[in-house]
Structure 1
Amino acid sequence: METSSDIEKYNFYFGIPHSHTCLSTGKGTPTEAFNYAKKKGIDFLIVTDHGGHLYRDKKSTSSKNSKWETLKNDADKFNNKTSKFLSLGGFELTSKNFGDFNVLNSNNIYKGKIKDFHKFTMWLKNQRNPIVCINHPHKYIEDFKYDSELDKFINFIEVGNGSPPFKYLNGEKYYYNLLDKGWHIGAINGQDNHRMNWGDTDNLTVVICKSLTKKDFYEALNCRRTYSSETRSLKLIFKANGKWMGSILAPSKKLNFEIYAEDKKNPIKKVQIISNGKKVIKEKSPKKKGKLKWDFSIPYKKNCWYVAKVIYKDDKMGISSAVFT
């Protein structure tokens, strides 16, 4: 069974899964965004400009490519000439009743607003391996009813969105609400940049994978092996019965949890384990201010979820993707 040695076997990549450029409502070109983010010391940037701008418009009157094609091409070109950084393109969609969603790793773009989620699900089934994220959730998402087919594609919710000191949304309660409804979603944090400030702030998503390649990166996203962090230095392992955060667990007599939280720059106050109904079932404070290794067991129960939450002395947070029974 793997423990803190996973820090050596896997890499923890810090970056932004939700941002904008001049291709829609932001500033700067995708290439400028990728360059800026890399110089800020983060590991990846996903530009997710608004779909309505991407499929309707061309980059310029002389361009043969749509803005969607331009975004994908710019990301590929940047990856080809740059090492130790991953640049990707996706797009943001608006729905009629439930806010905005990002779509990653699709081979084409969904045209128009999501008015019919059945139609949207059928479109997703025709993509290669798409990943959908719920963006900046608000109260209306509480009415988002569970759908077993759509659940196969919606992998994440933003538990943090924005770029402090500008507007910053805490979506933690909506995360737990949707987990209670049965959605199998994980936690991410999106800066949702509309200014030329990609990576200026410390709220980031951490993706845990073997290498910074598209293949390994998207494999980690498909497995929900991510967590939200409000610092640049939190390394978090959260496993149950040897399975990583994001996993759906096989039935067993008990759940053996492994938690390893390490932050060399910011003192950790405590770590909580949160489950159904937002209930804190366990919590523990570290003896060393920057590190906590914690193993414990509880009886197995069906239809439960568990999240690890790291709370800092300055009230910053780290929130894991869930494990499910």
Structure 2
Amino acid sequence: METSSNIEKYNFYFGIPHSHTGFSTGKGTPTEAFNYAKKKGIDFLIVTDHGGHLYRDKKSNSSKNSKWEILKNDASKFNTKNDKFLSLGGFELTSKNFGDFNVLNSNNIYKGKIKDFNKFTMWLKNQPNPIVSINHPHKYIESFKYNRELDKFINFIEVGNGSPPFKYLNGEKYYYNLLDKGWHIGAINGQDNHRMNWGDTDNLTVVICKSLNKKDFYEALNYRRTYSSETRSLKLIFKVNGKWMGSILSPSKKLNFEIYAEDKKNPIKKVQIISNGEKIIKEKSLKKKGKLKWDFSIPYKKNCWYVAKVIYKDDKMGISSAIFT
């Protein structure tokens, strides 16, 4: 069990889990994207070009390789030379009725559109340890029915998405809607870059893990140990009964909440705890500038979810992955 005493073992890495390059509908190459993002001071970038483009061949040094293979190789080479930045490759695909999804940590690409989610689930089962996120959700995702098997693979939803010249999307309400349906998903924020502006804006995903390597990073994603931030400086710790955000709890008599929110550059107004039905069950305003330490307990109740939401004085937000009972 993870407890408060081992907070020091984790680091908070800020980056982008959803971006594009000229390999599909964006600009530049993956290596240019990784270089640009690193210079912008973020910790990781996942290039998730559209799968339909990635399995096409691209000439490179008089030989032909699929863009998918080149993307993975470019990321690996960049990591070899840069130990303080993590570069990864994934892909985006679309579905018939529920919008777009990203797939991370897969060996190959799912070809075509998702027309049958049972078929997609079977494909996921044949990958080593894939991680799926719901991209830029809109109203149609509200009819996305809970699926126990698919729930094992869909770990995230973008509660924020966008970068110039495109409009920034707030997907918070769809996050709560799917949590109410039973999905075990966490919160991320994707810039979805289609220009050479990886890391220009402040909407980022924070991954909480031991170190900046693929093993620890993907382990954190598997456990949904993430939060969405609209600043570059929010440190958010959210635990219940000693378990980090993203956890599924064992039954107990009480739920002991532990929240720590700190932003040294942007003034926080208040922190809310949100639960089933998007109900605010607790709220606390900041008295001390810059940070809040908050502990409280409530009775255990099964089939509930809890999210910590940080609200800034300028209305920016930070949203945690949920904790489940």
* Same fold by TM-score greater than 0.5: yes
- CA contact 2:54–2:68 (8 Å) conserved in 1: yes
Distance 1:120 1:151 in 2: 12
What CA RMSD, in Å, does the superposition of the two structures yield over aligned residues? 1.4
Instruction: Kindly state the Cα deviation for residue 84 of structure 1 after the two structures are TM-superposed.
Output: 0.3
Pairing 1:218-257 to 2, within 5 Å after superposition: 218-257=218-257
Runs of 4+ aligned residues of structure 1 deviating over 3 Å after TM superposition are: 1-7, 59-63
- CA contact 1:189–1:204 (8 Å) conserved in 2: yes
SS in 2 for 1:59: strand
- CA contact 2:4–2:242 (8 Å) conserved in 1: no
Distance 2:167 2:103 in 1: 23
Distance 1:94 1:62, change over 3 A: farther
Distance 1:137 1:87 in 2: 25
- CA contact 1:59–1:70 (8 Å) conserved in 2: no
Pairing 1:263-282 to 2, within 5 Å after superposition: 263-282=263-282
- CA contact 1:23–1:59 (8 Å) conserved in 2: no
- CA contact 1:270–1:312 (8 Å) conserved in 2: yes
Instruction: Kindly state the Cα deviation for residue 58 of structure 1 after the two structures are TM-superposed.
Output: 2.4
- CA contact 2:2–2:244 (8 Å) conserved in 1: no
Instruction: Kindly state the Cα deviation for residue 314 of structure 1 after the two structures are TM-superposed.
Output: 0.3
**Structure 2 unaligned blocks of 5 or more:** none
Distance 2:62 2:25 in 1: 21
Instruction: Kindly state the Cα deviation for residue 289 of structure 1 after the two structures are TM-superposed.
Output: 1.9
Instruction: Kindly state the Cα deviation for residue 166 of structure 1 after the two structures are TM-superposed.
Output: 3.6
TM-score scaled by structure 1? 0.97
- CA contact 1:260–1:294 (8 Å) conserved in 2: yes
Distance 1:27 1:61 in 2: 21
What is residue 292 of structure 2 aligned with on the other side? 292
Instruction: Kindly state the Cα deviation for residue 288 of structure 1 after the two structures are TM-superposed.
Output: 1.1
1:71-123 deviation per Cα after TM superposition (whole angstroms, max 9, x unaligned): 00000000011120000000001000000000000011111110000000000
Q: Which moved more, 1:194-203 or 1:160-169?
A: 160-169
Distance 1:165 1:269 in 2: 29
SS in 1 for 2:60: coil
TM-score scaled by structure 2? 0.97
1:199-225 deviation per Cα after TM superposition (whole angstroms, max 9, x unaligned): 000000000000001000000000000
- CA contact 1:59–1:67 (8 Å) conserved in 2: no
Distance 1:82 1:242 in 2: 34
Distance 1:238 1:59, change over 3 A: farther
Q: Structure 1 vs Structure 2: percent identity of aligned residues?
A: 93
Instruction: Kindly state the Cα deviation for residue 163 of structure 1 after the two structures are TM-superposed.
Output: 1.4
Distance 2:67 2:209 in 1: 30
**Structure 1 unaligned blocks of 5 or more:** none
